[in-house]
Structure 1
């Protein structure tokens, strides 16, 4: 049987593309090589599914540092408010949390996934699970999807197979081959939204393993000490380096800086008091010690930082935690305040692309029509989601790009097939 549209890949963008194609009158088939649809959706937002982010378009684009501006056209057709309206119209109530993130009120990704799966049925989308696409053969009027023991003819193909990150959800990079065979360029692939690695002795010794610091500013520094990029959020020290949302957001800048400056490590600076000047911090520490002259500084300063990190920094600057105000040296306090504001960690890279949440790089956007997600090289071929050279920070930005590009690809594939 010939289909109007075949969508390959059952992640967020593929589901949205298939539903939209079906809704627009196209006889549609969705092929997924795994045994479940929406696997990446099911694990997003810690299993709660962060469906979008409601920041204004300008800010939304700013949080998609990997070619976000390309999405202006797609957002003019289907943006974050469209996503909110779409889910609420299907009975999925959403709530806004910090930094514009939108979650289902149920706090369960299952609500979102099951709603999308129902829509596939509502719009008559055929589904094939556990089905591996061996190749895509392109023709003038008809493309062929080559399976192990079958060929499926279709007017239009939507490739929505993701990048190379989180391979256990099925993203293994096979879509890049199909794109290349159609004549597309694949830009260099690299991990983004991935924990940073370090060989610092305190990391190797697990001195801070499992310790979280909240609302800190972390900055990647050039070899000359000038800032490359800063992010303010939380971090988590691990046995391999630094994780947590602020570190994940810095990862792509670390990868690029190590390459650009041809160095083995770059410094990350951790500022626990982003709203406080260093001298101000010195004055506050001195005052607290002076007001409690018989207390050890460790106890006098316990409200400044979590005790484990405070003791760690004291050790770094050689300040005895049992010292009292009577024996306190101003220089030691200045050194501690400096460490609280600018503790430097040498990072040597990131975990692998397979461990990353998101793949940087992908199908070159110069070869894609932005308001259609259509290939400029091959007629009746569309791309959406992470296979494209687009990536954002965690916090609902990648999923917004996935739903938006999926909607646009599905809509235009259906229109082209029925033209």
Structure 2
């Protein structure tokens, strides 16, 4: 069977690659091991599909801390505005939510998956489901097609590997792309979980003291061994039975994992009131002391922090909750304020890559052309999406990178395949 372009994997980047190749005149085949296309895409954004982000392209690249700069060339050809236009033009209205996150108005991922699937069919893409690729067919540093597990061969001058990372393995992301890349002579960098909850053995975790407590708009910082911040994120945080989760923890996980390669645990710092300085909290406490001097410390400080967190920090500072606030000593007050601004504890791991949201690491970018996403080692072989060593924060950034790399690879593969007349 002969095609111009073969795409392996019907996820976000694979479907967009197939659409882009077909739009540019290529006879395109999409091969997917699952029964249906877009299995992982259906789960994103809590089943609502955070399809992209409406920030300026420069901002989006800033939110892709894992090698986002590699995407500049691809973004100059197709970006988040193009993604939004694509869905609007194909009948899916989008709406903007907090932090620029874009969702379908229907609040259903199925709207996005159906749109991509219907577009492929409209463009004549042949979609082959429940079929696994066994290996790439390569002759003299040029890809010539693929062989399926069934033994069937498909011939094409261009093959796009869009197999995803190693997260959400039940959706089929089992790392096939890394295997294909290595066989083709590519380097796959160390794979690690990102956008992952953080694990801790601290006493407050093992005793479940704060389990289930959510803090809003706090700043979580990952510290180096000297106590200096490597990265800080101001977002919501959730204490769990294993450590911490929520957006702030997820965003810090990549940096935690990088430190864990060198050390057995990593210090973090939590600032519960990032918009108030030490002195401003001190002034607030002095004012409360004057207004409520007969009240206990706990009652006088009500609403300064969520009650459970207030109780915990008072206890940690060695302050009796029932002590009248007028009797609170200056040194104890200083200890308490320091805990509000800089509560330090250690984390010793993250969820494994299989249970995390995004795979860090991947096919080395030194071996991939940034403009076309074609391999520098094997002519006609392209890589897109999470299989590349590119990873971003949650909030529509990874999915944007997947759509952008898919579209750009599809376009260039169609162009190259047009030079070959079988």
- The bucket for the TM-score relative to the shorter chain is over 0.9
What are the equivalent positions in structure 2 for 1:13-412 lying under 5 Å apart? 13-139=13-139, 140=142, 142-259=144-261, 262-412=262-412
Secondary structure of the residue aligned to 1:345 is strand
Q: Indicate the RMSD between aligned Cα atoms, in angstroms.
A: 1.3
What SS class does the counterpart of residue 229 from structure 1 fall into?
A: strand
Alpha-carbon separation, structure 2, partners of 1:181 and 1:47 = 35
- Conserved in 2, the CA contact under 8 Å of 1:290 and 1:325? no
Alpha-carbon displacement from aligned partner over 1:94-133 (angstroms, at most 9, x marks no partner): 1112211111112211111111111111111111222121
Distance 1:347 1:10 in 2: 36
Q: Deviations over 1:172-202 (max 9, x none)?
A: 1111111111121111111111111100011
Distance 1:31 1:266 in 2: 42
Q: Aligned partners of 2:393 and 2:186: how far apart in 1? A: 26
Q: Normalising to structure 2: TM-score of the pair?
A: 0.96
CA distance in 1, matches of 2:169, 2:35: 14
Provide the C-alpha distance between the structure 2 equivalents of 1:48 and 1:282, rounded to a whole number of angstroms: 43
SS of the residue 1:85 aligns to = helix
Q: 1:289·1:324 contact (CA, 8 Å) conserved in 2?
A: no
For 1:389 and 1:141, how far apart are their aligned partners in 2? 21
| 2:65 alignment partner, SS class | coil
Whole-angstrom CA distance in 2 between matches of 1:53 and 1:385? 16
Unaligned 5+ runs, structure 1: none
The answer to whether the 8 A contact 1:195-1:251 is kept is yes
| Partner Cα distance (1:18, 1:59) in 2 | 27
What's the CA shift string for 1:237-291, capped at 9, x where partnerless?
A: 11111111111111111111222xx322121100011121112212212321331
Asked if structure 1 preserves the Cα contact closer than 8 Å seen for 2:300 and 2:325, the reply is: no
**Secondary structure of the corresponding residue to residue 214 of structure 1:** strand
Counterpart Cα distance in 2 of 1:355 and 1:28: 33
CA distance in 2, matches of 1:119, 1:111: 12
Determine helix, strand or coil for the equivalent of 2:267. Answer: strand
Shift of 1:297: 2.1
Residue by residue, what CA displacement relative to the aligned partner does 1:284-306 show, whole Å, maximum 9, x if unpaired? 12321331122222222221111
- 1-structure distance, mates of 2:254, 2:17: 28
CA positional deviation for 1:157: 0.6
2:166 and 2:359 in contact (8 A); partners too: yes
Q: Deviations over 1:194-236 (max 9, x none)?
A: 1111000110111111111110111111111111111111111
> TM-score, normalised on structure 1?
0.97
Distance in 1 separating the partners of 2:318 and 2:106: 50
In the alignment, is the contact (CA less than 8 A) between 1:48 and 1:103 conserved in 2?
yes
1:351-399 deviations in Å (ceiling 9; x for gaps): 1111111111111111111111111111111110000011111111101
Aligned residues: 417
1:77 aligned counterpart, secondary structure: coil
Task: After TM superposition, give the deviation of residue 141 of structure 1 in Å.
Answer: 6.9
Given that 1:221 and 1:267 are in contact with CA atoms closer than 8 Å, whether structure 2 keeps it comes out as yes
Moved more, 289-298 or 136-145: 136-145
Sort the Cα spacing of 1:326 and 1:275 in 2 relative to 1 into closer, same or farther, 3 A.
closer
